[in-house]
Amino acid sequence: MKDGDSYVGDVLAADCPTRQVLKHLTSQWGTLVMLVLLRGTCRFSLLRRRIGGVSERMLAQTLQLLEGDGLVLRVAYPVVPPHVEYSLTPLGMEAAARVAALTDWIEANLDEIQATWAAA
Amino acid sequence: MKDGDSYVGDVLAADCPTRQVLKHLTSQWGTLVMLVLLRGTCRFSLLRRRIGGVSERMLAQTLQLLEGDGLVLRVAYPVVPPHVEYSLTPLGMEAAARVAALTDWIEANLDEIQATWAAA
DNA sequence: GGAAGAACCTACATTTTAGTAAGTATGGAT
DNA sequence: ATCCATACTTACTAAAATGTAGGTTCTTCC
């Protein structure tokens, strides 16, 4: 691999680092966090209210993973009570767009899928 | 909701059925299965060899879930040794295309994400 | 005649993930 | 004076996902 060449990952390989990123983005809460943030900056508590069923613990953990991948930006204002704003980085927006494409498709085709469920 | 209207799901709602479908498609192995099948029909053992790290158990289970959602088609030929072919249904192809869009993006942007890892 | 191969299933053990509850700091409302 | 709200963390527990190993069936190949 020469300088300037970028390493192209292969998700099908068990030890490819892409697997980690995929895991973060497709984790139960990761997907939903990206979805909400795609609509705009949001603070912790609002994020928690928007995403039905997340616990504080999981939301915090998920946000840290996504921040660690450079997809989410965390900005904390040193006030009391604490005020922290989460948003997508440019990179995160690209990823979130793909995630949203998938969830939108699912929402739009739910009834067709449910028809299969009913048939069984 | 009148006749003919289709129910539009909301993944953000904790009890929305879309959550189930999302879980199947974004499960660790579900994603990869869709990816491989997008390239064409494939039998069980080949699928297993293509997807690095899957166990037979998980592959079988994942395929059943996706089949149950009407995304994957299973065709078994009653011969010995068994011969079973898996492929995507038209619905599955649409879903797989979205999944592939996400994984392709990750593969293409891996180095940028790794740069974030290195910075930490 | 023994081994290998296909596509599974089942039981059991382990690992990962997730939920609950409690704690922290401090200013403002009641 | 007490309680609420924010954005977390930590410890403990419970539940879910996943891996491992073994069994099945029948035929073909050495």
B22 at the A interface (CB within 8 A)?
Answer: yes
Instruction: State how far the Cα of B8 lies from the Cα of B11, in Å rounded to an integer.
Output: 10
Average pLDDT value for chain A = 92
CB proximity A53–strand D (7 Å threshold) = no
B53 touches strand D (CB under 7 A): yes
* pLDDT band per the 50, 70, 90 thresholds, residue B4: low
Tokens of residue B29, six digits: 């192995």
Note whether B64 contacts A: Cβ–Cβ < 8 A.
Answer: no
Please give the share of chain A, as a percent, with pLDDT higher than 90.
83
DSSP 8-class letter at A74: E
Residue A44 structure tokens? 């912790």
pLDDT (0 to 100) of residue A72 = 97
- The angle subtended at Cα A105 by Cα A99 and Cα A111, nearest 5°, is 140
Residue B8 pLDDT greater than 80, yes or no: no
**Chain A residue whose CA is closest to B23:** A28
CA–CA gap between residue B20 and residue A117 (Å, rounded)? 12
> How much is the pLDDT for A94?
97
Beta-ladder partners of B77:
B83
Closest Cα in chain A, distance from residue B118 (Å): 10
> Can you read off the two tokens belonging to residue A87?
């948003």
Q: Which residues pair with A86 in a beta bridge?
A: A42, A74
Reading phi first (left if > 0) and then psi (alpha if -120 to 50, else beta), residue A75 is in beta
Find the residue closest to D27 using CA and C1' atoms.
B80
Q: Positive or negative CA dihedral for B65, B70, B71, B73?
A: positive
Q: What average pLDDT does this structure show over A25-35?
A: 96
- Name chain B contacts of A109, Cβ cutoff 8 Å: 91, 94-95
CA distance A60 to A16: 26
Contact A102, B2 (CB under 8 A): no
Amino acid identity of residue A30, one-letter, is G
In angstroms, rounded to a whole number, what is the distance separating the alpha carbons of residues B47 and B11?
A: 30
Q: Tell me the mean pLDDT in the region B47-73.
A: 95
Shortest CA to C1' contact from A80: nucleotide: C26
The confidence band for B63, taking pLDDT boundaries of 50, 70 and 90, is very high
d(CA B102, CA A98) in angstroms, rounded, equals: 5
Q: Do B73 and B87 contact (CB within 8 A), yes or no?
A: yes
Interchain CB contact of A91 with B (< 8 Å): yes
Token couple for B117: 């890892």
The Cα of B113 is separated from the nearest Cα of chain A by a number of Å equal to 6
